[in-house]
């Protein structure tokens, strides 16, 4: 299936010749004028399995898609040099600023920026005061609020609750704008449908949180300079937060900064890399805020972190190839991931089957806190369908597709282990 897909992609690529204007050879090291530190390329690299993909990840490439025996991802100049040193050469290489076909082809007004996320969350809380409350769980590096919406029929604000808790997180990675839209729209949907019998039953018995924008600084930077009336917007392909690193580069990869087996593979020591893990575990205010939020709520039983793209459902471990060693939990993870896959069409797998990545949210939440934790890589399936920038048309179908998985996770949150006994079904 994947091979067929790859062949179709090759055919599609041939039809989009201008995507391949950039030279296919890696750039020669240059002397003289310094290069812009954030100059990066979309690269397609040969990789026939998870071990080869991990070598590529270890070189500092953020792998974004796997297609047959190749991967696509983002590399800076030094990552390209490290790849060359280990004998891996891109078959395709496109400077990101020149990859116009991957940027939004039309105005992007349907996406929510930081201020609109805040105002929509506040309006939802205000319209449903008996059920919904607005929380600030921390501040970003540049001082923006990290805002959460809470659904609880009894407890409000930061009041404790003994009900099984679930948290949905969005936009650890700045350019993954669809991962803001999905949790935001799911929260609004939940509020609007709170009286539906099945939804009401869940909301009466659960403590539910949405944090749609974990990395507001990076997200704002990614679309800064885009005008809503522009025919074409040059997004910045920014992944990380806005930390100013000592070498002049910008950002720490928040999804490599969590403190469980931090910096043990698939994360870069190079501050310029897209997968830079930061100077220390939890060095960043955004990951500190999530850590504190989780630690203050021992009732949390499940976590779902939205990313884009590739249409995958991932579960721990990411930092090593071994499966988790708790047999009943592993059975539950596999059953729930399979169910998520059935509901979405996304492919379920252990995170490290893709490649090793350490310091991510879900390894920490499971490894340190015992919270059943999943990563969804949302729409689209590939860069040929728009990659990080699929356009506003992707918002509604992606959101609609993710309603049933949200309800399923809420349903299972009282005892996720039972998924391993029932084969994923909600009943015991
Ligand atoms: Zn991501």
- Given pLDDT bands bounded at 50, 70 and 90, which one contains residue 104? very low
CA atoms within 13 A on the CB side of 304: 32
Judged against a pLDDT cut of 60, whether residue 10 lies above it is answered with no
Mean pLDDT of 129-153: 97
Judged against a pLDDT cut of 80, whether residue 11 lies above it is answered with no
Q: Which residues fall within 8 angstroms of residue 222, CB to CB, at 6 or more apart?
A: 174, 175, 177, 235, 236, 237, 238
Judged against a pLDDT cut of 80, whether residue 210 lies above it is answered with yes
Mean pLDDT of 300-323: 97
Query: How far, in Å, is the centroid of ligand 1 from the Cα of 174?
Result: 8
Separation of alpha carbons 378 and 240, rounded Å: 18
Neighbours of 84 (CB within 10 A): 14
pLDDT number for residue 224: 76
Q: What is the DSSP string of 377-423?
A: EES-SSGGGTTT---GGGHHHHHHHTHHHHHHHHHHTT-TTHHHHHT
What is the per-residue pLDDT across 253-294, written as a single tens digit (0 to 9) for each? 999 999 999 999 999 999 999 999 999 999 999 999 999 999
Separation of alpha carbons 269 and 276, rounded Å: 6
pLDDT number for residue 341: 98
pLDDT number for residue 292: 98
Query: How far, in Å, is the centroid of ligand 1 from the Cα of 308?
Result: 6
Helix (H, G, I), strand (E, B) or coil at 118: helix
Judged against a pLDDT cut of 50, whether residue 208 lies above it is answered with yes
Chain mean pLDDT for the chain: 88
Separation of alpha carbons 137 and 224, rounded Å: 24
Query: How far, in Å, is the centroid of ligand 1 from the Cα of 63?
Result: 10
DSSP 309: S
CB-proximal residues (5 Å) to ion ligand 1: 173, 176, 307
CATH class of the structural domain 114-422: alpha beta
Query: How far, in Å, is the centroid of ligand 1 from the Cα of 198?
Result: 32
Q: How many helices (H) and strands (E) in the chain? A: 14, 12
Most confident of 73-77, 94-98, 114-118, 206-210: 206-210
Provide the Cα torsion 411, 286, 386, 112; round to 10°. 80
- Given pLDDT bands bounded at 50, 70 and 90, which one contains residue 204? very high
Judged against a pLDDT cut of 90, whether residue 166 lies above it is answered with yes
Domain boundaries, the chain: 2-102, 114-422
Mean pLDDT of 61-81: 91
Query: How far, in Å, is the centroid of ligand 1 from the Cα of 306?
Result: 8
Higher pLDDT, 234 or 3: 234
Query: How far, in Å, is the centroid of ligand 1 from the Cα of 127?
Result: 32
Q: Which residues pair with 414 in a beta bridge?
A: none
Contact 180, 400 (CB under 8 A): no
Active site residue 377: yes
Query: How far, in Å, is the centroid of ligand 1 from the Cα of 14?
Result: 28
pTM, two decimal places: 0.86
Residue among 64, 220, 377, 411 flagged as catalytic:
377
């Amino acid at each position: 299936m994947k091979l067929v897909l790859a062949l179709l992609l090759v055919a599609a690529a041939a039809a989009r010749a201008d995507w391949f204007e950039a030279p296919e050879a890696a750039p020669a090291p240059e002397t003289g004028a310094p290069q812009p530190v954030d100059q990066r390329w979309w690269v397609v690299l040969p990789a026939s399995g998870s071990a080869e993909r991990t070598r590529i990840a270890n070189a500092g490439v953020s792998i974004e898609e796997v297609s047959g025996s190749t991967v696509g991802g983002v590399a800076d100049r030094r990552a390209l040099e490290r790849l060359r040193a280990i004998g891996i050469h891109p078959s395709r290489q496109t400077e990101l600023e020149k990859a116009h076909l991957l940027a939004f082809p039309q105005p992007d007004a349907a996406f929510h920026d930081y201020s609109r996320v805040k105002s929509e969350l506040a309006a939802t809380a205000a319209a449903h005061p008996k059920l919904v409350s607005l929380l600030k769980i921390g501040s970003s590096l540049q001082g923006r609020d990290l805002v959460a919406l809470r659904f609880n029929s009894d407890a409000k604000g930061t009041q404790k609750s003994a009900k099984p808790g679930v948290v949905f997180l969005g936009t650890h990675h700045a350019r993954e704008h669809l991962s803001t839209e999905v949790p935001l729209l799911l929260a609004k949907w939940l509020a609007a449908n709170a009286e539906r019998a099945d939804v009401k039953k869940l909301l009466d018995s659960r403590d539910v949180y949405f944090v749609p924008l974990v990395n507001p600084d990076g997200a704002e930077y990614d679309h800064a300079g885009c005008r809503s009336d522009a025919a074409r917007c040059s997004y910045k392909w920014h992944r990380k937060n806005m930390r100013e690193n000592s070498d002049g580069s910008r950002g720490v990869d928040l999804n490599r900064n969590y403190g469980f087996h931090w910096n043990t593979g698939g994360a870069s020591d190079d501050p310029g890399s897209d997968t830079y893990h930061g100077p220390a575990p939890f060095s960043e205010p955004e990951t500190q805020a999530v850590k504190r939020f989780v630690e203050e709520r021992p009732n949390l039983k499940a976590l779902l972190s939205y990313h884009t793209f590739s249409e995958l459902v991932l579960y721990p471990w990411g930092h090593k190839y071994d499966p988790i060693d708790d047999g009943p939990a592993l059975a539950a993870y596999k059953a729930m991931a399979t169910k998520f896959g059935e509901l979405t069409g996304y492919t379920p797998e252990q995170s490290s089957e893709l490649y090793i990545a350490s310091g991510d949210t879900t390894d920490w939440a499971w490894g340190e806190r015992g919270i059943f934790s999943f990563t969804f890589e949302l729409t689209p399936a590939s860069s040929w369908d728009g990659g990080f920038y699929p356009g506003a048309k992707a918002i509604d179908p992606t959101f609609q597709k993710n309603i049933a998985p949200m309800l399923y996770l809420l349903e299972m949150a009282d005892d996720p282990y039972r998924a391993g006994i029932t084969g994923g079904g909600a009943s015991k």
